Copies of this chain bind each other. A is one copy, B any other.
């Protein structure tokens, strides 16, 4: 639900106002909490590992079907666009503002995005979030930090990642901005 409803016993009222001797307050709170943000990040990580596992067990079609569910549930493409810069995309398809572009990035298999081999198909066994900062602006929340992916060989790939979440009408968090990049090599 997009709110929390709570009936609070209010202070006893002046006896002169007997018709409402006891009042109660209905509270609807649409603010995004830090706990919701952290849970949203964990859900993203779990989904990535799940897609990887599904791919290994059931193949690309199954992984794609799962990725579609994840994108439709966790991103805000139905709002018109998501500002998504995946880690490994290149010119002229760097930015994936459409659902098709996001899906191709995660699971490949789309001739319109010929360089996409499927980031979620790389056998990730673990995904860990280490936030540098979380900024909750009331109706949106942005995080910035590292996400560390453990690959099939146990090697960890760390990326710099920014996510902006908003709540939809049902109160579910949706990613509307996602900028991911490999660390600067320092060369």
A residues with CB within 8 A of B: 1-5, 10-11, 13-14, 16-17, 19-20, 23, 25-34, 78-81, 83-85, 87-92, 94-95, 97, 115, 128, 130-140, 142-146, 148, 150, 156, 158, 160, 162, 164, 166, 168-169, 176-177, 179, 181-184, 186
* Cβ 8 A contact of A179, one of B2, B146, B179: B179
- Tallying the copies of this chain within the complex gives 4
Closest to A158 in B: B17
Contact B144 A83 (CB under 8 A): yes
6 interchain residue pairs of minimum CB distance = A181-B181, A138-B138, A138-B139, A3-B80, A95-B132, A31-B31
Asked whether, in the complex, the Cβ of A10 is within 8 Å of the Cβ of B131, the reply is: yes
* Alpha-carbon distance between A135 and B94 when the two chains are bound, in angstroms: 17
Cβ contact within 8 Å between B81 and A133: yes
User: What are 25 A-B pairs with beta-carbon distances under 8 A?
Assistant: A2-B78, A5-B81, A20-B92, A20-B146, A23-B130, A23-B145, A26-B97, A27-B134, A28-B79, A28-B136, A30-B135, A30-B137, A83-B135, A83-B144, A85-B144, A85-B162, A85-B181, A87-B184, A94-B183, A137-B166, A137-B176, A138-B139, A140-B140, A162-B177, A162-B179
Closest to A145 in B: B95
- Taking a contact as CB atoms under 8 Å apart, the answer to whether B166 and A28 are in contact is no
B83 touches A162 (CB 8 A): yes
Are the C-beta atoms of B19 and A133 separated by less than 8 Å? no
Question: Which residue of the partner chain B has the closest CB to A159?
Answer: B181
The interface residues of chain B lying within 8 Å CB-to-CB of A28 are 79-81, 133-136
